[in-house]
Amino acid sequence: MMNRLLIGLAVILMTAPAFAGAVDVDKLYAAKCHICHSLNGKGGVGADLGGPLDGVGAKRSEEWLRAYMADPKSQMPGAKMPVVQLEKAEFDAMINYMLSLK
């Protein structure tokens, strides 16, 4: 019984860091992107400013997306998008999410 308890505790402790750093991309998109962008025709009040993100993963490379997200004007001098402050894990998760939009 004690061995099972110790093994269970060890598993929890080993996997906890992986879950602690997990980013909820849906919440992140809703909080940071939805107001100015749309997906599947659904967007926030300023969706006409940022436009649709449908298919962005097929249109842009990872390198381009990373550069644009870090400094929009570096890739599009007339960009209206502000620099969005994200933690590294959030930034990486958002890039992966956008790359999945094909």
pLDDT at residue 9 in the model: 43
pLDDT digits (tens, 9 = 90+) for 40-60: 999 999 999 999 999 999 999
3-class secondary structure per residue, the chain:
CHHHHHHHHHHHHHHHHHHHCCCCHHHHHHHHCCCCCEECCEECCCHHHHCECCCHHHHCCHHHHHHHHHCHHHHCCCCCCCCCCCCHHHHHHHHHHHHHCC
Its pTM surpasses 0.85: no
69 or 14: which leads in pLDDT: 69
pLDDT at 85: 93
